Amino acid sequence: MQLLIVSGFLGSGKSTFIIEVAKEAAKREIKTAILVNEIGEIGIDDQFMRQLGLNVWEILGGCICCTLAADLNTTLDNLIRDYKPDIVLLEPSGAADLRSVNQIVSGYEERSVLRIRRITIVDPLRLQMMMEVLTPLVTSQIKSADLILINKADAASTEEMAYARQTVRDLHPNAEVLSLSAKDSLEPALFDGLVL
């Protein structure tokens, strides 16, 4: 069973990307569960995903990196035991501390229950501004990923894309970095690269 953790700041395109991954998985008849964490009491993204016929579990009303860490374990345990998906797509809230999320799930990897892919989505339209005001959060999200997706390639300028690529490379020289527009349907080759 594979866990894809799709992190990234608020509005970077996590849900958009997850929906496209889930659609491609459905085409290939791969059983997928989506797990969404939102700090608010109402899960807007999950409602939309459900309307698309996707299988969504939600953890609402707090962050899975701190107050709701136990809920993340319980939900994963239940999914693994009862639903048995091939892929779990996890969307932590945009403010989540990814290092804590990684710590929480690392036990599953150690016990060989889950193979984990850590993906961070970067929004090139806002990266420079966020590096100025939210450096620790953005830096930690980039450093904690093994695959970094620079999203919104359709809307970003050449300079914004270049800034994003350079910033990511400086912060995490070994990461795999790809550019894409998550709102377009997912390249099948990218899906192949996601699934270990």
**Residue ranges binding Mg ion (CB under 5 A):** 14-15, 45
In contact, 98 and 77? CB cutoff 8 Å: no
- Nearer to ligand GTP among residue 47 and residue 106 (C-beta): 47
- Nearest distance from C-beta of residue 95 to ligand GTP, angstroms: 8
7: phi then psi, degrees, rounded to nearest 5: -105, 180
**Binding-site member from 5, 98, 182, 186 for ligand GTP (CB under 6 A):** 182
With a CB cutoff of 8 Å and minimum separation 6, the contacts of 20 are 182, 184, 185, 186
- Nearer to ligand GTP among residue 37 and residue 75 (C-beta): 37
**Binding-site member from 155, 162, 185, 193 for ligand GTP (CB under 6 A):** 155
The CA distance from 5 to 122, in Å, is: 14
The CA distance from 33 to 87, in Å, is: 6
Radius of gyration of the chain (CA): 16
- Per-residue binding letters, 61-100, with ligand GTP (x by CB under 6 A): ---------------------------------x------
73 binds, among Mg ion, ligand GTP, none (CB under 5 to 8 A by kind): none
The CA distance from 48 to 55, in Å, is: 11
**Residue type for position 169:** R
In contact, 70 and 107? CB cutoff 8 Å: no
- Nearest distance from C-beta of residue 107 to ligand GTP, angstroms: 26
8 binds, among Mg ion, ligand GTP, none (CB under 5 to 8 A by kind): ligand GTP
**Binding-site member from 20, 45, 46, 97 for ligand GTP (CB under 6 A):** 45
Buried b (16+ CB within 10 A) or exposed e, 166-175: ebbeebbeeb
* 10 interacts with ligand GTP by CB under 6 A: yes
- Nearer to ligand GTP among residue 115 and residue 165 (C-beta): 165
Q: Which stretch binds ligand GTP (CB under 6 A): 10-18, 27-35, 99-107, 167-175?
A: 10-18
In contact, 2 and 90? CB cutoff 8 Å: no
Instruction: Summarize as ranges the residues that interact with ligand GTP (CB under 6 A).
Output: 8, 10-16, 45, 94, 151-152, 154-155, 181-183
